[in-house]
Amino acid sequence: MFNKILIANRGEIALRIIRACRDLGIKTLAVYSEADEKSLHVQQADEAICIGSGPATESYLRMDRIISAAEIGDVDAIHPGYGFLAENPHFAEICANCNIKFIGPKATILKKMGNKAMARFHARKVGVPVAPGSDGIVESEKEALKISHQIGYPVIIKAVAGGGGRGMRIAHNDVSLVQGFVAAKLEAEKSFGDGSLYIEKLIEDPRHVEFQILADTKGKIVHVGERDCSIQRRNQKLVEESPSPIVDPALRKRMGKTSIRLAESVDYEGVGTVEYLVDKAGNFYFIEMNCRIQVEHPVTEEVYGVDLVKEQILVAAGYSIGKEWEELEPKKHAIEFRVNSEDGLQDFRPSAGKIDFLHLPGGPGIRVDSHLYQGIEISPYYDSMLAKIIAIGNSRDEAIARMNRALNETIIEGVKTTIPIGKSVFQNTDFKTGDYTTNLINKILAAKKSLDEH
């Protein structure tokens, strides 16, 4: 087992990893930017080292400074969390060369599956269905136009690296394609240090369903069910639930087997998520594999009674997956809502500032993963997520009722949040019946705008 782990991240995921390490008796070293000096993960870790100024390019994306901190702190392993360097093959290689365990897939796997264009190509090669699109990286606007004309509009432009909806634009014609290509490239370069893009045919009004994978270093791979991530704004997830209302046991078995087959084809190790779009006819198409822990992992933990972060650390340390993982079945229903510092009624405009007053929800069936405390400054440098509220019930209806209760209890003053839009989602008839698509937020906002105008 590891003696000490450096956490190369911030916010709620850094705190989540600290908790898992404490359960396992592992010491932690936090790295932080000057903007995060008073952050909760810095206070809770056993040790902490400042690695630079506020912008991520000067801190959380600085491999040299993170490795220096690891050597000063004499750590055995580095946990990258999600985002930042979590799927960076070069960083995984540097860790290996420095004899520090990277808690994630090997660099060779990240090169193949962390790069979304290469992952598409590989998935198609091993018989996993994919949507029409480019065969690899699209180098120029001219090439992007040519591919878009071949597959037909609408198309979606995507960054090969990273996630969280960054580096992603939808285009319905040549003008929006060129504009979107330039904007996506700049955003991807800023967020992930890699502006490479690829193009896919846009499947309109789909469901976004992902499968959780866990693989040990001895070749055993299992899936831990699915999450429905269809409630999104600007191609970023806002609500996730498990099990998916549209996945029956037969489809779960089929999609689960497909996900394991893909993971086996690259000798996958650690936790990962295979993501699909499901159309109205029930056909599913691979879109990407996230080679890291996901933001929405708590819903799977609550539904299946597992600790995915703890297991991620255990398999990285060489432990085998137990036989009990082969027999897991969903026991509960869980829904996660991301509370972001954004104004949902003003095109989700970011809102930075000081948290003047804070009350987070509790009671039966409510879990909150957050790094917030009263008085903390919300920096404009990073992702806008403040908290994840997870509602758990014996049925979907009970989980929805508990989420409504939780959102009504939550008080966050000092910044705008997505809570008002969340209340609208959980009271929406289409959501309540489970008959929704990735377009639900747009429909809710359009209805609000129409009411305001009249």
Record the tokens describing residue 433, joined without a space: 């019946």
Torsion angle in degrees (nearest 10) through CA of 40, 43, 46, 50: 90
Neighbour tally for 280: CB within 10 Å: 12
Whether residue 367 lies in the annotated active site: no
Peptide bond into 249 cis (omega under 30): no
Angle (CA) 425-428-432 rounded to 5° is 100
Q: How far apart are CA 403 and CA 432, in angstroms?
A: 12
Q: Residues of 297-329 as b/e, b for ≥16 C-beta within 10 angstroms?
A: bbbbbbbbebebbbbbbbbbbeeebeeebeebe
Q: How many residues does the chain have?
A: 454
* C-alpha distances out from residue 389 to 77, 334, 410, 412, 450, Å: 29, 10, 10, 13, 29
Secondary structure class of 327 (helix, strand, coil): helix
Q: How far apart are CA 420 and CA 439, in angstroms?
A: 18
- Which residue, among 83, 11, 82, has the nearest Cα to 372 in the 3D structure? 11
Neighbour tally for 209: CB within 10 Å: 24
Radius of gyration in angstroms for the set of CA atoms belonging to the chain, rounded to a whole number: 21
How crowded is the C-beta side of 170, counted as CA atoms within 13 Å?
11
Q: Name the active-site residue from 166, 169, 292, 338.
A: 292
Q: How far apart are CA 41 and CA 38, in angstroms?
A: 9
Catalytic site positions: 292
